[in-house]
Chains A and B, each alone.
Chain A
Amino acid sequence: MSESARKDSPEQAEFRQYCQDWLKDNTPGEPPVRLPQSPLEIMTEPQLAYLQAWQKAAYDAGLVGCDYPVEVGGGGREDCQRVANEEMIRARTPFMPNVIGLGMAAPTVFYHGQEELKQRLLPRLFSGEDIWCQGFSEPGAGSDLASVQTFAEKKGDKWVINGHKVWTSLAHFAEWMILLLRTDKSHKYDGLSYFVVPIRSALGNGVTVRPLIKITGETGFNEVLFDNLEVDDSYRLDELGKGWQVAMTTLAHERGAGEKVTPRSGGLKSAATHATTTGNLIELARGAQRNGKPATDDPLIRDRIMQLVIREEGLGQNQRRARVPALQDHPARIMLQNKLLSSEIAQDTASLAVEVAGASASLYLGDDNAPAGGQWPMAYMNSYGMTIAAGTSEVQRNILGERVLGLAKSK
């Protein structure tokens, strides 16, 4: 019996067995197309179709949205999403494509939306039939998120939206967007409001989506322009002027510190061999040469790999210690470090991998001789997405310094 299974409630234990049985017969085979390293880089319809079919099957079987009430399309269970996630990862299923929907939009709509809106939107979100995207950043509002300028003006019983959002992952497939905008220009924070708005059905009718190309050459994220998009007032979440508070629900879930556990799968065998882990780094080093010997014989390479092994294990042990109150000085101190540490460890691991691979690291996806299919240079470049998105490492350090250490707020 696994360590996690030992602490299951009777409901969880029964559900775990159910998940295991279902996954035995329903874990998809290897994908027909090369999949990207994360759902945020889905570029083509075949990639999306394969992943959407998987999410729909998992939802229909009750493994997605388990902890949400039945009325909004959930499973009506208590603390079972965690169990489903563990079993899906153990079964090495593919990842689910609707990550922004599941991780950020669902809890935000659930806690702040009107009942009718939840019942209409959440079932198709959980099933992955409707892909969601997030409209937060703007050309003039990155780390200083509260300075967004996208504006909604009330005209009769409708809102008319104008503005420009950027770095919008999955917008090219999205039916819906969670949107932070301004309804009052005279107050920075209290002038913000929060809406859900249609994207795909409004293309050419107030919405334009243009792909942005990343440094890796992939698309996957976009800019979204609003030109007099009209939406109904029922699409507003919570009260007017409460947008910042609603956005905090979104961001808390994005950082893994929200009320709802995000449905997560992911761990395809083919993906596991190029995950940015020190285990894969060691395998790469065994096969790489330095001075006519395996790179793993070089004492400097050994030392640098061990530095990363220790950081990686430290991050894992942080998650464990976060559940032992007697070994903590401050309740949020460890969890608020997660995003910062995991993104920087991944970046440094990929960076060392590229160095260990030596000249071979110059070979990219299209080259048959590229080690690990060229995934390491791609992972290294993609790692900057992780240290920039969802609050840059610099912003994360401000948050930690101010909220945990109590240092004065930086401008």
Chain B
Amino acid sequence: MAQPKNYGFGEEAAMLKESARKFFADNFSTEKLHSMVAQDPNPERMSECLWDQALWQEMVALGWTSLAVPEEAGGLGMPLAAVAGLVEELGRAAFPSPLLGTLNATYVLAACDAGEAALAAIAEGATATLAITNAAGSWDIRDTGVSAAGGKLSGTASFVQDARKSDYLLVSAASGDGLGLYWVAADAPGVTLHPDAIVDLTRDQAHVTFDNAAAEQVGADGAAALERALPAVWTLLAADICGAAEWQLQTTVEYVNARQQFDHSLGFFQAVKHPLVNVMCAIDESKSLTYNAACAYDTEPEEAARCAHMAKASAAETAAFASGRSVQCHGGIGFTWECFVHLYFKRQKHSQLLFGDAAWHRAKLADILIGPVAA
């Protein structure tokens, strides 16, 4: 099946993206974000979970958490291209929320053989997040730190995103039958959240221990479900990065236009101008690859992994590059806690690493395009 030229990004998708942009612009300024999450600069501060729950309830009411849920499970069944548009705006606002985790869980559940009940819960407003990696932070599908026996989970899932904002966990666990996927309430008996003290102020993160915790198996072939759904997860994180990087670019451009040194605005100097142009080109590359990946997921599943590896590899580089230039071009003020650029710098450095960094995705891409290295 060939891809539509416009990525399948039609009028409905454009309206969703535009309304999301307006929603965040009207309700969640960067000043508000900073005053909410950056109260305590102490580098040894304990883990915090600070977010605007009232605004989140409005987002749920707008139906944003059920966009990706298939229609037969009570959702809106919108294409990934449209959902990516929303997530790009979420990234632009750096809005702390369980939206990304819930969307991620939605795509994995939709690829499971018994995900209907969990999807129905999401369609009714429940939040969720993926718990699929181990203490080493490996993103290879089978590298879980959790095992399953008789419907009970034991072990530890690490680097679980927005865990304290999530009602449910979607856990990958190894058993004698291979890798399974399990749905469990975050406050179920035997499940303990251990919040991590992290750099990123716009997310919370935890490792989660399971002590013989009863969980519902939703995917018997977890590896197949993850293989099918992870391209959507990578694509959405790339979309978040693109939105955040555009904020970094525009904010930095504004600053270098205003700041005067040597009788000129900083942007006059090519040592400043050219790196910012390079940031713009990097964003455009990542963004084009992101919508291509979304469209492949929607219309050409056999190409989804190839396209999403490209999108996340590109976006991971863009996240690091845009972040570095945003602080550097702000000069001394960019190095301070009071300047807003650090909020995005930290979110982007976190996004760069989650669900595979650039080198990891390029290695997977090489396996597809060149073939695996002979043993």
Contacts and interface: CB of A to CB of B under 8 A. Distances in A.
Interface of A: 3, 7, 282, 285-286, 293, 296-297, 299, 302-303, 305-307, 309-311, 313-315, 317-318, 320-321, 323-324, 326-327, 329, 333-334, 337, 340-341, 394, 397-398, 400-402, 404-411
A320 B270 CA distance: 30
A302 B374 CA distance: 13
25 contacts: A3-B3, A282-B370, A302-B363, A305-B366, A306-B362, A310-B362, A320-B292, A321-B7, A323-B5, A323-B6, A324-B7, A327-B9, A327-B85, A327-B287, A333-B284, A398-B273, A401-B267, A401-B277, A404-B280, A405-B249, A405-B276, A406-B257, A407-B268, A407-B272, A410-B269
A100 B7 CA distance: 34
A320 B7 contact: yes
Contacts of A397: 270, 273-274, 277-278
A385 to B, nearest CB: 21
Given A313-B289, A407-B257, A306 B369 contact: yes
Report, as a range, how many residues of chain B touch the other chain.
35 or more
A408 B265 contact: yes
Interface in B244-283: 246, 249, 253, 256-257, 264-265, 267-270, 272-274, 276-278, 280-281
B359 interface: yes
Contact of B277 (A303, A311, A324, A405): A405
B373 interface: yes
Nearest to B313: A310
Contacts of B280: 333, 337, 400, 404-405
Nearest to B267: A407
A323 B6 CA distance: 7
Interface of B: 2-3, 5-7, 9, 13-14, 17-18, 85, 246, 249, 253, 256-257, 264-265, 267-270, 272-274, 276-278, 280-281, 284-289, 291-292, 310, 313-314, 359, 362-363, 365-366, 369-371, 373-374
B283 to A, nearest CB: 9
A409 B276 contact: no
Contacts of A411: 268
B5 A303 contact: no
Contacts of A309: 310, 365, 369
A321 B313 contact: no
Q: Is the interface of A mostly helix, strand, loop or mixed?
A: helix
A84 B246 CA distance: 38
Contacts of A333: 280, 284
A340 B374 contact: no
Contacts of A7: 5
Nearest to A306: B362
Given A3-B5, A326-B14, A303 B370 contact: no
A225 B249 CA distance: 46
Contact of A317 (B273, B288, B362, B370): B288
B231 to A, nearest CB: 15
A97 B35 CA distance: 64
Given A296-B370, A306-B365, A323-B5, A401 B276 contact: yes
Contacts of B310: 309-310, 313-314
A395 B5 CA distance: 32
Nearest to A411: B268
Given A306-B362, A397-B270, 10 more contacts: A286-B370, A311-B285, A314-B288, A321-B291, A326-B9, A327-B85, A334-B288, A401-B267, A404-B280, A410-B269
B309 to A, nearest CB: 9
A337 B362 contact: no
A303 B359 contact: yes
Contacts of B265: 407-408
B363 A401 contact: no
Which 7 A-B residue pairings sit nearest by Cβ, starting from the closest? A407-B267, A314-B285, A317-B288, A326-B14, A306-B362, A408-B268, A401-B273
